[in-house]
Amino acid sequence: MPLKLSNTYLSLGRAFSQQSLPTPVRKPELLLWNEPLAKQLAIEVDAQQENEQLALYFSGNELVEGSQPVAQAYSGHQFGQFNPQLGDGRAHLLGDITDTKGKQWDIQLKGSGVSAFSRQGDGRCALGPALREFIMSEAMHALGVPTTRCLAVVATGEAVYREQPLPGAVVTRVAASHIRVGTFQYFSARRDTASLIQLTRYAIERHFPDILPEKPAQNITQDNKPDERELSAKQVVDFVSAVLNKQLTLVLSWLRVGFIHGVMNTDNTAISGETIDYGPCAMMNHYHGDTVFSSIDRRGRYAFGKQAGIMQWNMARFAECLIPVIEKCLVDEGAELTDSDDEHSEAIALLEPLLVQFSEQFKVGYLAMMAKKIGIAIPQESDVTLINDLLELMQRDGRDYTGTFTSLNNNLTAQNVNELLHKKDTADESADTDDWLSWTARWYARIGDDIAGAKVLMGKSNPLVIPRNHHVERVLKTTQESGNLTALQQFLAVLRQPYVNLVETVNYQDAPADGDINYHTFCGT
């Protein structure tokens, strides 16, 4: 089995993580293995022949060659309240691996036992949340949303005690990295500028290497030491800008497919711009900007329509952490920081425009994204009203978000356009009281003659199927009660091709009969 890991994060030093071994489990059994992801990571194994060894590796009972497990340290704002001491309380970073394209990925076990950051928790994960993360992350990947992914789910043969005994599992998460906004907050809260600089340099090298000049001969992959090149203030500002752009793309992707994260704490905001932590997430059914499903989000802080604003808030917290780094760079570059009533004014002057720009870029990006959902490639300012009017009608009438856009695409035909526009031209306008008919006529007129192009654009922007909450819950219930993975595998086969109308697609397109009115999601801890 050609599987070998390194751990460049460990090389940052003791301040960044605690070396910690996973806690062995009683009876590891491989339940799910992500073969396409394994091939991408150049892990060539026959899961059928080697599943026992895979179960040992990805339960934590045995270490992969080169693995030096650590629990990462971080802080975080949780529902707006800052907690200076969080960290991996039930996860172990086994190390990193390089894929077939030379990109570096973290391999992390979740539910693998206690660490120094466990805060009296048991360090374990129940089977249901592990399967949920596998389903949701694979669905999001197929939908074109930046996301962490799951390589494996291993049953532990042990019970996890929450409100009742539940079967336990360990899930293997693959991520571009597990560096979070909360990682920067951890060192910022401790006024540890030296570690902030070290973390910033490592994060740039890992995620945005183009920001740095050409590397020296000895580099991090050869001697396993962090990059020692000096940072400039401009490079740090460019880093913040790059992270903001990643988050912008992420939130727009969520809004495009109707995803509600449910727990957008800063410790769940990865600087790589990947979706991370699928605990209380859900998909929107009936369109409403205030839609919330998370049982712990009692005030709707992370509602569907608030996600862009929260991400901007999280990015402001991220930028704050880099103020001392920028100031140190400015001083090293010979700048004399002025005495001012506004503390850190020079650094703030460099960062503040980026946060303002985030808001403006979101408006532009949101218009472009929503315009594509209704078949408009190059939006105009007037399309804002057209889009907002559609969303108001959907919210007023409780229309299904995914189903509405699918229906619009299906009904966009030359015959329908000609008939409706002709009717609109000849009818008495005062007699037209159908708001939907009126909106559709405006939309048809906006599409014009490029019906074929509009349909192609809509087909790429609007999935035919999403991991609807009631189907996710049904599959999880069936799998846990029967121990049979057939229903889950059938579901995954459709979710992995969300823009293709398979024979089985129709089985998962229906909206819930109760409109998800009583549906709630829960954190897995």
| Residue 432, marked binder | no
CA angle 238, 242, 248 (to 5 degrees): 140
Q: In angstroms, what CA-CA distances link 345 with 337, 348, 352, 386?
A: 9, 5, 10, 42
Region of 171 please: left (phi>0), alpha (psi -120 to 50) or beta: beta
CA angle 34, 36, 42 (to 5 degrees): 100
Which residue in 320, 309, 329 sits closest to 181, CA to CA?
320
d(CA 267, CA 76): 5
Measured between its terminal Cα atoms, the distance across the chain in Å is 33
DSSP annotation of 304 reads: G
Contact 398, 515 (CB under 8 A): yes
If one counts every other C-beta atom within 10 angstroms of the C-beta of residue 157, the result is 14
Q: Which residues contact 45 (CB under 8 A, 6 or more apart)?
A: 1, 3, 38, 54
> Is position 210 annotated as part of the catalytic site?
no
Residue with tokens 């329509």: 305
d(CA 233, CA 461): 38
Token output for 360: 């403006």
d(CA 465, CA 422): 33
Region of 13 please: left (phi>0), alpha (psi -120 to 50) or beta: left
| Residue 334, marked binder | no
Catalytic one of 267, 297, 400, 516: 267
d(CA 503, CA 483): 26
d(CA 199, CA 195): 6
d(CA 302, CA 309): 9
Is residue 265 classed as helix, strand or coil in its secondary structure? coil
Distance of CA 447 to the CA centre of its chain: 33
If one counts every other C-beta atom within 10 angstroms of the C-beta of residue 311, the result is 21
Q: In angstroms, what CA-CA distances link 83 with 78, 91, 119, 359?
A: 7, 18, 12, 27
- What length is written for the chain? 525
d(CA 72, CA 413): 54
Phi, psi (deg, nearest 5) at residue 300:
70, 30
| Residue 277, marked binder | yes
| Residue 87, marked binder | yes
| Residue 268, marked binder | yes
Phi, psi (deg, nearest 5) at residue 153:
-125, 125
- Residues tagged in the binding site annotation: 87, 89-90, 110, 122-123, 173, 180, 268, 277
- Residues tagged in the binding site annotation for Mg(2+): 268, 277
Just list the catalytic residues: 267
- Residues tagged in the binding site annotation for ATP: 87, 89-90, 110, 122-123, 173, 180, 277
